[in-house]
Amino acid sequence: MVGISAADNAKLSSLVGRHIEQGRLILLSILGSGAYGVVYLAYDCLLSTRSTPAYFAVKCLIREGVTPREKKFQDRELALHQTSSDHPNIVTVHRILEEDGMFFVVLDYCPDGDMFSLLTDRRYHGDETLIKSVFLQILDAVEYLHSKGIYHRDLKPENILCADDGRHVLLADFGLATNERRSSDVGCGSSFYISPECINPYFSSLVADGKYPTAQNDIWSLGVILINLVCSRNPWRVACPTDDTFRLYSKRNGLLGDILPISSELNDLLKRIFSLNPSHRISLKELRESVVKMRQFGMSEKDLAKANPIIKAAARAANESPAQPRKKNPSPTETFAKDLVPAYPQEYLSRAQAAAQQPVRPKRHLARFPSLDASSSSSTNDSSSTGPRTPPISGLDPIDTISDMDEEMADVRFTQEQSTSYFSTGEAARHMHAKQMQNGSGGGVRQHGFLTSAFRKIRGLPGAPKPAPAVIS
């Protein structure tokens, strides 16, 4: 799959002000877009009252005219998402509408956008209690998926949506999810988060019959997300020998404790998460137990004072304020007043303008999509699959090349200036990535989730539902 045509994209992007579901939902503004669809903020005229307006996110997909293969992908994504949609840390699919050759998927609206945005804003940095709470919520969602025989295969901050100022998180985007326990779909995922056995031809000897275990692939991705939360960066660009940092890690699994400001407890846990042999990798149950017991994720100030220059440079980079604060979308009432007045019947307009700014979370209405059978599982082995990729950005970069370091990490060889340079290439990496994408290259790891980046531009709107945070037990 290579994405929708320009004509279809223009059609999906021109729906602002449209009424769907017999006038119940009004599409207010675009929240984000991806290779295969567009996500809108929608106002629910039926559930909204004068004191409690109700908002939803509506994912719009082209249905008419797509190939049988593309329909198969759509059906799989929606079926797997709906099957797991009743968990409090998974974005709810309330219902699926089909109108004018399009699918309108009505989802929870998450006012704080995705975790990627909050990470770049340093929302979680240094807050050990919040890190534990949020990561346990992610673990609970993934454990629930696995209990239903569903494996996400694209776990990353962009696919984790946030509410309540980042304290409540919800897993989204099932474009790459599968119900296969073992898969031959190598190269399926996002480069920073993909496990080594999923990268062909590297580490193919670690899996039987050319198929990797999808559950263990998810666990690897969770380890990278945990490093994102604690250190505001990625450990490597891709888990294969061509990456200098990962090549050193594959020879000595204690490497991360020598280059990241993490506690010895976390370093020991990461060794079990990033076991090169997937059969030796920690289980979700053990991972959860270890996180609950974890006393400290980051390095203490006392230990940091005695750390090597590389760790100190990483800690300084994580402490830096973001270059630009996140931009907020206009409030729903501002959107009505400035853009949509001519498009709305007066009764809808007056109700929206009078709506208060603190609505309750709307009641869930889950319409089940047809269940999957074995024939609905699909392969990602498509040479034309070049979906959106996670860009390395300033403040969330992997460690830059450390090829000058020997396998024993002789830290005394590195001056403060040299070690600092390893963490100062974020903008250059972003520019290089943009050029790669513009030129149609980008590193060789394929993705084709329908809306891998669809929620990337979601920003908080006043008056949107904010679910209560999960309680750590």
Q: What is the pLDDT of residues 400-423, one digit of tens each?
A: 333 333 333 333 222 333 333 333
Task: Give the pLDDT score at 4.
Answer: 74
Confidence at residue 80, expressed as pLDDT on a 0 to 100 scale: 96
Closest by Cα among 469, 465, 468 to 129: 469
| CA–CA dist 445, 463 (Å, integer) | 39
Residue-range definition of the domain harbouring residue 45:
6-111+328-376
Whether residues 419 and 406 fall in one domain: yes
DSSP 8-state symbol, 280: G
Same-domain pairing of 207 and 60: no
465 in any annotated domain: no
Residue 280 is assigned to a structural domain of this protein: yes
Q: In angstroms, rounded to a whole number, what is the distance separating the alpha carbons of residues 456 and 165?
A: 16
Q: Return the structure tokens found at 104.
A: 């309108």
CB 419 within 8 A of CB 425: no
Beta bridge pairs of residue 114: 161
Residue 130 maps to a domain: yes
For residue 231, give both structure tokens. 């250190």
CA 271 to chain centre: 23
Residue 71, Cβ neighbours under 10 Å: how many?
11
Closest CA to 35 of 65, 56, 8, 14: 8
Q: State residue 268 phi and psi, 5-degree precision.
A: -65, -40
The torsion angles phi and psi of 92, rounded to 5 degrees, stand at -75, 130
State how far the Cα of 315 lies from the Cα of 329, in Å rounded to an integer.
Answer: 32
303 labelled catalytic: no
Same domain, 272 and 223: yes
Domain containing 128 — which CATH number?
1.10.510.10
Q: How many CA atoms within 13 Å lie on the side-chain side of 171?
A: 34
How far apart CA 71 and CA 180 sit, in angstroms, is 19
CA 91/CA 175 separation, integer angstroms: 14
Q: Return the H-helix or E-strand segment holding 416.
A: helix 416-421
Give me the numbers of helices (H) and strands (E) for the chain, helices first please.
15, 10
Q: How far apart are CA 215 and CA 198, in angstroms?
A: 12
Q: Enter the pTM of the model.
A: 0.72
- Reduced to 3 states (helix: H, G, I; strand: E, B; else coil), residue 183 is strand
Judge if 297 and 398 occupy the same domain.
yes
* Residues 292 and 221 reside in one and the same domain: yes
pLDDT at res. 208: 72
Domain assignment present for residue 359? The answer is yes
Here the CATH number for the domain that contains residue 94 is 3.30.200.20
Residue 312 sits in the same domain as residue 429: yes
Question: What does the pLDDT look like over 173-231, one tens digit per residue?
Answer: 998 999 999 998 888 889 999 999 998 766 767 777 778 999 999 999 999 999 999 99
Q: How far is CA 104 from CA 58, 63, 107, 132, 142, in A?
A: 6, 10, 9, 35, 25
Q: What is the pLDDT of residue 322?
A: 65
Q: Is 59 annotated as a binding residue?
A: yes
Separation between Cα atoms, residue 257 and residue 253, nearest integer Å? 9
Q: For the chain, which residues score pLDDT lower than 50?
A: 328-473
Residues 35 and 95 in one domain: yes
Same domain, 138 and 228: yes
- Specify whether 106 is located in the same domain as 126: no
Give residue 112's identity as a one-letter amino acid code: D
